[in-house]
């Protein structure tokens, strides 16, 4: 049975997907069999299989970081927004165009299917890296949450919370996020990562100490800001300057899919090194559960 770890963020766009992909690559390079997982993703950027099944592109990218092929089990629930409602996919298969209320009616059944997919990945791998979505403390949504602390609680996943220091307000976002959670959920937060730091990291030592004091959690790393040449999800800037797949293909001399995937894998070595050099990996390995 795999050990698991979950990445959540103080908001959208703080770098969850890139951090998840970096951990996937680091663990893979360290010799472990690794798979990514995100129970539910809302995205118009889908990875399409030959049989027409779909999963979120971000989990496909994480699969490439693990040196494995994408599988719909890595993102069992995909929500694709349309002009009126949402296209809903379960384990890759189109289940209909639903409004919010129609989806809520089937959400519990879909979650049970998603947990089966998650358990299957855990049975087949050494480590599963789980990614959350948006913020875990959108108070009007957490009652029916299945993708952040709701899922972490269900599978007892240790969580690393990541925040973007370049936006400002990192102290309030971290402290507020943690303290808006019930105590039992706070206990699942095992550490903090500060992302997109510009300047000399040593100058933030006082900031790091303050965060650890007010949040009562270890800061496991401060990641410098750097440009990333992998495709973005829905044009959100995740860390540095991200691009669409089409732009990246135009920049490459060889535009074949196989060449592009190899290009991505090379990029993930660079990303993994940037993260690994600034993370306390000994502590992260101890957090795995």
Task: Give the model's confidence band at 266: pLDDT under 50 very low, under 70 low, under 90 confident, else very high.
Answer: confident
% of the chain exceeding 70 in pLDDT: 88
| Closest-CA residue to 134 (of 221, 244, 42) | 42
Whether 239 has a pLDDT exceeding 50, the answer reads no
CATH number of the domain residue 173 falls in = 3.40.50.300
- 54-58, 160-164, 264-268, 270-274 — which is least confidently predicted? 264-268
Average pLDDT over residues 222-246: 58
What digits encode the pLDDT tens for the residues 53-100?
999 988 988 999 999 999 999 999 999 998 888 999 999 999 999 988
Query: Does residue 43 sit within a domain?
Result: yes
What pLDDT, on a 0 to 100 scale, did the predictor assign at position 83? Answer: 84
Lowest mean pLDDT among 3-17, 204-218, 238-252: 238-252
Does some domain include residue 289? no
pLDDT tens, position by position, 95-120: 999 988 889 899 999 999 999 999 99
For tokens 């993260």, the residue is 275
Instruction: Look at residue 42 and tell me if it is in a domain.
Output: yes
Highest mean pLDDT out of 26-30, 42-46, 258-262: 26-30
Mean pLDDT of 181-187: 97
In a domain, 225, yes or no: yes
Task: Let me know if residue 35 belongs to a domain.
Answer: yes
Q: What is the pLDDT of residue 237?
A: 42
The predicted pLDDT at position 259 comes to 66
Least confident segment among 128-137, 214-223, 258-267? 258-267
Using pLDDT thresholds of 50, 70 and 90, give the confidence band for residue 257.
low
Range of the domain at 125: 3-282
- For residue 287, being part of any structural domain is answered with no
**How many structural domains is the chain composed of?**
1
In a domain, 207, yes or no: yes
- pLDDT value of position 248: 52
Flag whether 103 is in a domain: yes
Q: What integer pLDDT is reported at residue 260 of this predicted model?
A: 67
pLDDT at 240 over 50: no
* Average confidence score pLDDT of the chain: 89
User: CA 114, CA 91: separation in Å to the nearest integer?
Assistant: 8
């Amino acid at each position: 049975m795999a050990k698991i770890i979950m990445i959540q963020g103080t908001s959208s766009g703080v770098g969850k997907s890139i951090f998840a992909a970096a951990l996937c690559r680091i663990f893979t390079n360290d010799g472990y069999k690794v798979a990514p997982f995100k129970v539910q993703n809302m995205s118009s950027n889908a990875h399409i299989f030959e049989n027409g099944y779909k999963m979120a592109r971000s989990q496909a990218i994480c699969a490439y970081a693990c040196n494995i092929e994408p599988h719909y089990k890595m993102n069992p629930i995909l929500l694709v927004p349309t002009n009126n409602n949402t296209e809903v996919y379960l384990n890759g298969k189109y289940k209909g165009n639903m409004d919010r209320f129609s989806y809520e009616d089937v959400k519990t059944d879909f979650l049970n299917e998603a947990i089966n997919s998650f358990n299957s990945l855990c049975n087949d791998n050494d480590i599963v890296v789980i990614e959350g979505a948006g913020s875990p403390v959108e108070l009007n949504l957490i009652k029916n949450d299945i993708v952040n602390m709701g899922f972490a609680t269900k599978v007892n996943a240790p969580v690393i919370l990541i925040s973007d220091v370049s936006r400002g307000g990192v102290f309030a976002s971290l402290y507020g996020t943690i303290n808006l959670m019930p105590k039992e959920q706070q206990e699942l937060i095992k550490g903090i990562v500060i992302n997109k730091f510009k300047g000399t990291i040593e100058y933030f030592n006082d900031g790091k100490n303050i965060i650890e004091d007010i949040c009562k959690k270890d800061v496991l790393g401060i990641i410098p800001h750097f440009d990333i040449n992998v495709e973005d999800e829905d044009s959100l800037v995740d860390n540095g300057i991200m691009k669409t797949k089409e732009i990246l293909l135009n920049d490459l001399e060889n535009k074949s899919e196989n060449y592009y995937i190899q290009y991505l894998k090379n990029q993930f070595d660079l990303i993994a090194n940037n993260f690994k050099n600034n993370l306390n990996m000994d502590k992260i390995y101890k957090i795995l559960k």
